[in-house]
């Protein structure tokens, strides 16, 4: 890993962000930006922009703003941030299974297994690279936490997918 401190945009892709930055990036990257999020929920766009801006110290997002941004964007970085606040909780967004066939279910399990192996390989490589110099700095720790979170989420998706293979089979747990 490079020792150069990443930009805000790089951090948004590689780390679990603090909640205020996750909300900012989610709204900013939503098609139409923060103004579109505000329009979807009928709130003042300028006020929302000020509340989400990391440079406006006097304005902070509230729970209604959190709900508006999350409902519009469904950005996983927001849920990751909330999970970190709650002590490392993980989340999984279930797939709509109503129209899936048995073959689709089996393909989903195989694709999830492939993804799991890929993420595990990335995690091992990342850990090896981080410890090569004998020091794991704050940025490397943040990147490792995000990789570990994605790996564990993939395991939960695998469990969810495997439980839904076959019609009428129940998954207990």
- Residue 126 in any domain: the answer is yes
- Residue 123 in any domain: the answer is yes
Torsion angle of the four alpha carbons 76, 78, 79, 82, in this order, in degrees rounded to the nearest 10: 160
- Residue 172 in any domain: the answer is no
> Could you read off the pLDDT of 38-48 as tens digits, one per residue?
999 999 999 99
The pTM of this model reads: 0.67
> Could you read off the pLDDT of 64-110 as tens digits, one per residue?
999 999 999 999 999 999 998 998 888 777 654 444 444 555 677 78
Domain count, the chain: 2
Residue whose tokens read 């999970």: 83
Looking at the fold, whether 66 and 134 belong to one and the same domain comes out as no
Quote the CA–CA distance of 43 and 45 in Å, as a whole number: 6
Looking at the fold, whether 75 and 120 belong to one and the same domain comes out as no
pLDDT at site 139: 82
Residue 136's pLDDT band (cuts 50, 70, 90): confident
Domain stops at, among 85, 120, 139: 85
Looking at the fold, whether 67 and 18 belong to one and the same domain comes out as yes
Q: What are the start-end ranges of the H helices in 30-164?
A: 33-41, 45-52, 63-73, 76-85, 102-131, 138-163
> Could you read off the pLDDT of 2-54 as tens digits, one per residue?
566 677 777 777 888 899 999 999 999 999 999 999 999 999 999 999 999 99
Nearest CA to 84 out of 21, 169, 1 is that of 21
Range of the domain at 45: 8-85
- Residue 153 in any domain: the answer is yes
Alpha carbon separation from 98 to 104, 109, 143, 159 (Å, rounded): 11, 16, 36, 18
Looking at the fold, whether 75 and 122 belong to one and the same domain comes out as no
Q: What does the block give as tokens for 5?
A: 């401190």
Looking at the fold, whether 79 and 107 belong to one and the same domain comes out as no
């Amino acid at each position: 890993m490079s020792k150069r401190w990443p930009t805000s945009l790089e951090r948004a892709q590689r780390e679990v962000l603090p909640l205020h930055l996750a909300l900012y990036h989610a709204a900013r990257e939503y098609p139409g930006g923060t103004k579109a999020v505000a329009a979807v929920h009928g709130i003042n766009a300028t006020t929302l922009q000020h509340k989400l801006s990391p440079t406006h110290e006097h304005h902070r997002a509230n729970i209604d703003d959190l709900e508006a941004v999350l409902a519009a964007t469904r950005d996983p970085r927001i849920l990751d941030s909330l999970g970190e606040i709650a002590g490392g909780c993980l989340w999984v967004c279930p797939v709509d299974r109503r129209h899936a066939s048995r073959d689709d279910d089996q393909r989903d399990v195989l694709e999830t297994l492939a993804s799991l192996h890929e993420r595990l390989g990335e995690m091992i490589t990342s850990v090896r690279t981080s410890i090569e110099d004998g020091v794991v700095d704050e940025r490397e720790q943040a990147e490792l936490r995000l990789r570990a979170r994605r790996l564990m989420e993939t395991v939960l998706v695998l469990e969810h997918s495997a439980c839904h293979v076959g019609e009428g089979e129940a998954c207990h747990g």
